Amino acid sequence: MEERHPGPGQGKLYIVGTGPGDGRHLTEAAREALAAADCLIGYRTYLELLPPELLAESDSREIISSEMMKEVERGRQALELAARGRTVALVSGGDPGIYAMAGLVFELARRGHSQVTIEVVPGIAALNACAARLGAPLMHDFAAISLSDLLTPWEVIEKRLKAAAAADFVTVIYNPKSKRRTWQIEKAREIFLEERKPDTPVGIVTAATRPDEKITLTTIAELGKAEIGMQSTVIIGNSQSYIWHNLLITPRGYGDKYNLAG
Amino acid sequence: MEERHPGPGQGKLYIVGTGPGDGRHLTEAAREALAAADCLIGYRTYLELLPPELLAESDSREIISSEMMKEVERGRQALELAARGRTVALVSGGDPGIYAMAGLVFELARRGHSQVTIEVVPGIAALNACAARLGAPLMHDFAAISLSDLLTPWEVIEKRLKAAAAADFVTVIYNPKSKRRTWQIEKAREIFLEERKPDTPVGIVTAATRPDEKITLTTIAELGKAEIGMQSTVIIGNSQSYIWHNLLITPRGYGDKYNLAG
| d(C-alpha B202, C-alpha B171), whole Å | 9
**Is residue B255 in a domain?**
no
Residue with the larger pLDDT of the pair B70 and A241: A241
Is A163 inside a domain boundary?
yes
| B 192-231 residues inside an 8 A Cβ radius of A | 209, 213, 215
Residues B164 and B229 in one domain: yes
3-state secondary structure of A225: helix
Judged by CB atoms closer than 8 Å, whether chains meet at A151 and B253 is answered as: yes
Coil, strand or helix at B17: strand
Quick check: is A5 in a domain?
A: no
DSSP state of B53: G
Residue B262 in this model has a pLDDT that exceeds 50? no
Contacts of B176 (CB under 8 A, 6+ apart): B147, B184, B185, B188, B228, B232, B233, B234
User: What is the average per-residue pLDDT within B144-152?
Assistant: 95
d(CA A168, CA A171): 9
Q: Measured between CB atoms, does B185 come within 8 Å of chain A? A: no
**Same domain for B146 and B244:** yes
Residues of B in contact with A136 (CB under 8 A): 96-97, 102-103, 105-106, 120
Is residue A153 within 8 Å of B254, Cβ to Cβ?
Answer: yes
B128 contacts A98? CB cut-off 8 A: yes
B134 and B233 inside one domain: yes
Interface TM-score (ipTM) > 0.90:
yes
B118 and B53 within one domain: yes
Nearest to B213 among A1, A156, A162 (CB): A1
How does pLDDT run across A124-137, given as a tens digit for each residue? 999 999 999 999 99
Q: Based on the domain organization, do A120 and A131 belong to the same domain?
A: no
> Which range marks the domain in which residue B138 is found?
127-249
Domain check: are A80 and A100 in the same one? Answer: yes
Which of these three, B96, B124, B152, is where a domain ends?
B124
How many angstroms separate the CA atoms of B45 and A174, rounded? 34
Asked if residue A235 and residue A193 are part of one domain, the reply reads: yes
Confidence of residue B236 (pLDDT cuts 50, 70, 90): very high
Q: Which of residues B98, B124, B150 is at a domain's end?
A: B124
Q: What average pLDDT does range A135-147 have in this prediction?
A: 98
Please tell me the distance from the alpha carbon of residue A240 to that of residue A237, in angstroms, as a whole number.
7
Q: Looking at the structure, do residues B59 and B159 belong to the same domain, yes or no?
A: no
CA A106 and chain centroid, separation: 18
pLDDT in tens, A230-251: 999 999 999 999 999 999 999 9
Q: Which residues of A12-49 are buried (b: 16+ CB within 10 A; e: fewer)?
A: bbbbbbbbbbbbbbbbbbbbebbeebebbbbbeebbeb
Q: State residue A70's pLDDT score.
A: 86
User: Taking CB atoms and an 8 Å limit, are B24 and A25 in contact across chains?
Assistant: no
**Residue with more model confidence, A253 or A186:** A186
Please say which residue of B71, B100, B124 terminates a domain: B124
Domain total in chain B = 2
Shortest Cα distance from A206 to chain B (angstroms)? 13
Residue A136 located in a structural domain: yes
How far apart are alpha carbons B161 and B188 in whole angstroms? Answer: 7
Kindly state whether residues B97 and B115 are assigned to the same domain. yes
Examine the domain organization and report whether B52 and B117 are in the same domain. Answer: yes
In terms of Cα–Cα distance, which of A132, A196, A206 is closest to A169?
A: A196
Q: How far apart are CA B10 and CA A23, in angstroms?
A: 28
Rounded-to-10 torsion of CA B214, B220, B222, B228: 30
Same domain, A158 and A89: no
Residue A260's pLDDT band, with cuts at 50, 70 and 90, is low
β-strand B232-236 against B170-174: which pairing, if any? antiparallel
Q: The CATH number of the domain where B86 resides is what?
A: 3.40.1010.10
Tell whether A50 is covered by a domain: yes
Average pLDDT of chain A?
A: 93
Chain A, nearest residue to B140 by Cα:
A99
Q: Do B149 and B228 share a domain, yes or no?
A: yes
Of residues B23, B24, B69, the one with CA closest to residue B43 = B69
Q: Which of A129, A139, A151 sits opposite B99 (nearest CB)?
A: A139
Say which DSSP state A19 is in: B
A125 inside 8 A of chain B by CB = yes
Q: Is the pLDDT of residue B54 over 50?
A: yes
Give the model confidence (pLDDT) of B24-39 as tens digits.
Answer: 999 999 999 999 999 9
Q: How many CB pairs under 8 A join A and B?
A: 284
Q: Say if residues A103 and A110 touch (Cβ distance below 8 Å).
A: no
Asked if B63 contacts B55 with a C-beta cutoff of 8 angstroms, the reply is yes
Q: Residue B131 and residue B128: Cα distance in Å, rounded?
A: 5
Using the predicted structure, report yes or no on whether residue A259 has a pLDDT greater than 80: no
Classify residue A144: in a domain, yes or no.
yes
pLDDT at A262: 45
- Band of residue B11 on the pLDDT scale cut at 50, 70, 90: confident
Give domain status of residue A4, yes or no.
no
Element (H, E) at A233: strand A232-236
B229, B167 contact by CB (below 8 A): no
pTM attached to this predicted model: 0.95
Please state, in angstroms and as integers, the Cα–Cα distance from residue A250 to each residue in A63, A111, A201, B172, B175, following that order.
Answer: 42, 43, 10, 19, 19
CB-based contact, A95 to chain B, within 8 Å? yes
Question: In the prediction, which pLDDT does A116 show?
Answer: 92
What average pLDDT score do residues B61-69 get? 86
For residue B234, what is the domain's CATH number? 3.30.950.10
Within a domain: B259: no
